[in-house]
Amino acid sequence: MSPTGTEDDVAAIAKRWKNKRGSLIMALHGLQDRYGYVPREAAMSLGEQMDVPLARIYEVLTFYNYFRLKSPGKHVVSVCMGTACYLKGAPQLLSRASEELGIKPGETTADGEFHLQVVRCVGCCGLAPVVTVNAKLLAKVTGESLEAHLLTPTTAEDGKA
Amino acid sequence: MIQATINSLPVEVAPGATILDAARQVSVHIPTLCKHPDLEATAACGICIVRVAGSTKMLRACCTPVEADMEITTEDPEIIQVRRTVVEMILSRHPNECLTCGRNQNCELQTIAADFGLREICLDSIVPDLPIDNSTRAITLDPRKCISCGRCIQVCQQIQDVWALSFLQRGIDTRIAAAGDISLADSPCVRCGQCSAHCPTGAIVEYDETQEVWDKLLDPDAFCVAQLAPAVRVAIGEAFGFPVGTNLTGKTYAALRRMGFKAVFDTNFGADLTVMEEAHEFVGRFTNAKSVLPLITTCCPSWVDFMEKFHDDMIPHFSSCKSPQAMVGALAKTYYAEKMGLDPAKVYVVSVMPCTAKKFEIIRSKEMHSSGFWDVDVSLTTRELARMIKQSGINFRVLAEEQPDHLLGAYTGAGTIFGATGGVMEAALRTSYYLMTGENPARLEFLKTRGLDGVKEGKFDIAGKEIRFAVAHGLGNVETVLTKVREARDAGTEPPYHFIEVMACPGGCVGGGGQPYGVTDNLRAKRAAGLYQDDQAGLWRCAHENPYIQKLYEDFLGEPLGEKSEQLLHTSYHPRPTYRR
């Protein structure tokens, strides 16, 4: 995932999906993949090139939780609230992370370092409760282990590697 | 035809008709909040539920087509209980501010709550904390009062093709907002106000400027003058219990004087003047082979804004004529002030319009400052004037009719029909005929310009030359007309039309965004009929016959399209960004 996209990226995405019925969501996924979120300027440019009004684009962007409208910050902390994780204490982990970082779910810290979000099931319920920091998966998380990871987070690249 | 029964009453409907349509046909009332006769059903509110024999679910009458032999029940204790719960749920998310709301006593939600006789709401109140948007200074958007029925969005996106408004988020967080959560003024909004005309609650209303006008009326230094738009006279009576379409011109003049206006003008005079200028402009272009045709009318400020935002390649086609309101404003502070020996700085011009966009038009460009001052100081909607008359305590129903101040008040039938779709075209063709032949057309009624079809086309023969015209209303209908113009232009062929009229609101100004609530095609047609009757009954029916217009040119302006006319009565157009953010 590249953290920044360019006008050329938007043009390529628009060209790929233009005139294909029902493809707006795919194009918006394309934008989020390039930028890490959907910047307003990119949405406007996409709308112009695909001939889709901005109002429609934002209907879609705000309907689905998956899309982010703000830069997510360097480290994305995702607390899984799927059933298994929920039962194993995910709500407590979420409030702990929220307290620790001083932000609510969906927000980014003022210094742009952390973004906190809720996800629904990451597909490894046996390891519940699960938290991911960037692409790194933390299993059987406790309040203490979560705090330790927030103090020394890995970067997106580390996570990938 | 399909046969069914509603509450055991037999009913026969055409295929596709909904249960709600069928019920209305047999005078069975099914309460509903979201369905509007102009719009497709969104099935958002859930109040119109009914029972159909054989179905375990209650069905929504607005979106369920009638099927053969359906046995429909619209009222029983359980249905009523479910509807009550739905109303309670809506009210639990609605601010309890009826007494100070713009829709007090004229609100569909309030009416439903009253009909259900609710005495308490058993659910906790969770009114969202969302800011009011007054950025356009034409429309006030208060998303807290929105019940998510979707009417405004359907009007803005489908009927008007503007796409300023949409829903954001989902479920309980759903809210209305402009183009991805920016202010309306930064969005493509053209301020037509059709959202406010269709909103069932006070979530979208006109930007209220009545206090500003009261303050000026109290100011002993101000010489307040009013002007009354064509479509206002046949709609204002709805606020005072008159039958729809009653022409109340004389009573409205009288009310304005009672309120303290020192002179009362008629925008119909401005409409006659617009016809004079625009017909000269049209005949000039039509008879000069090199000119850009078609000519497109520009009386409608939402259409002008829409064109500048979405169709700026059409700028060369636009008539340079200002709207009638702007012309009267410019002349009130020049010609009238001069004639009456008034200091134009003290003349305060208030226009009463069927329109929310007129509030923007008066400051849209520096040409609206042609008298050396803002030519029109405040533009009120019909709804605001009705409120001011009620505040005054004036007994509108028994007021004796009065005359306007004739210098800027006498009008012909051509001016009055500006308020209905096709009226500008009809008025301009009458005078164009006169300009090209020296006489009036044998038949003054141009029936092809009239009526509520979205796009009307016709041909008219003047001195052996065929004039092709088109009339569109409802901005969503403009595209078909402009596409034909563009295709001919790109192919280098003869233009499909010579003259095009566009009005942003369905029905033209009679259906304007600032008119009394509850508009439907039936109301639009009745209001328009009131204007056509006014035209029929008038002494003069062509703008060039107006003796006060003739006097204006003799005493002050000189000639149509002359130097002074150009300075005071004409404007220019510039592309505007669709999104400012």
Q: Does B507 lie in the same domain as B416? A: yes
Q: Do B163 and A56 lie within an 8 Å CB cutoff?
A: yes
CATH number of the domain enclosing B144 = 3.30.70.20
Q: Does B219 lie in the same domain as B202? A: no
Q: Does B188 lie in the same domain as B59? A: no
Is the pLDDT reported for residue A156 higher than 50? no
Task: Write out pLDDT tens, residues B498-526.
Answer: 999 999 999 999 999 999 999 999 999 99
Q: For this structure, is B34 an active site residue? A: no
Q: For this structure, is B148 an active site residue? A: no
Q: Does B366 lie in the same domain as B505? A: yes
CATH number of the domain enclosing B232 = 3.40.50.1780
Predicted pLDDT at A120: 82
Q: Does A46 lie in the same domain as A95? A: no
- Select which of B145, B322, B333, B358 is catalytic: B358
**Angle subtended by helix axes A24-35 and A54-63, to nearest 10:** 70
**Boundary residue ending a domain (B32, B59, B75):** B75
Q: Do A63 and B181 lie within an 8 Å CB cutoff?
A: no
**What distance in Å separates residue A57's CA from the closest CA in chain B?**
8
- Select which of B206, B238, B277, B278 is catalytic: B278
Q: Does B282 lie in the same domain as B192? A: no
Q: Do B581 and A53 lie within an 8 Å CB cutoff?
A: no
Predicted pLDDT at A157: 46
Q: How many domains does chain A have?
A: 2
- Asked if B459 and B485 touch (Cβ cutoff 8 Å), the reply is no
Q: Does A82 lie in the same domain as A40? A: no
Is the pLDDT reported for residue B243 higher than 50? yes
Q: How many domains does chain B have?
A: 3
Task: Write out pLDDT tens, residues B300-309.
Answer: 999 999 999 9
Task: Write out pLDDT tens, residues B198-225.
Answer: 999 999 999 999 999 999 999 999 999 9
Q: Do A55 and B164 lie within an 8 Å CB cutoff?
A: yes
State which residue of chain B sits closest to A59, comparing Cα positions: B168
Q: For this structure, is B300 an active site residue? A: no
Domain that holds residue B58: 2-75
pLDDT band at A154 (very low <50, low <70, confident <90, very high): low
Mutate to test the interface with A, among B168, B306, B310, B475 (most CBs of A within 10 A): B168
State which residue of chain B sits closest to A41, comparing Cα positions: B581
pLDDT band at A2 (very low <50, low <70, confident <90, very high): very low
Structural domain includes residue A51: yes
Q: Does A96 lie in the same domain as A57? A: no
State which residue of chain B sits closest to A58, comparing Cα positions: B180
Domain that holds residue A151: 75-158
Is the pLDDT reported for residue B284 higher than 90? yes
B207 contacts: CB under 8 Å, gap ≥ 6 = B134, B136, B137, B138, B139, B140, B356, B359
Q: Do A53 and B167 lie within an 8 Å CB cutoff?
A: no
Predicted pLDDT at B30: 97
Q: For this structure, is B545 an active site residue? A: no
Mutate to test the interface with B, among A28, A56, A62, A69 (most CBs of B within 10 A): A62
Q: Does B261 lie in the same domain as B187? A: no
pLDDT band at A1 (very low <50, low <70, confident <90, very high): very low
Q: Does A153 lie in the same domain as A79? A: yes
Structural domain includes residue A114: yes
End-to-end CA distance of chain B: 52
pTM of the model: 0.91
**Boundary residue ending a domain (B206, B237, B257):** B206
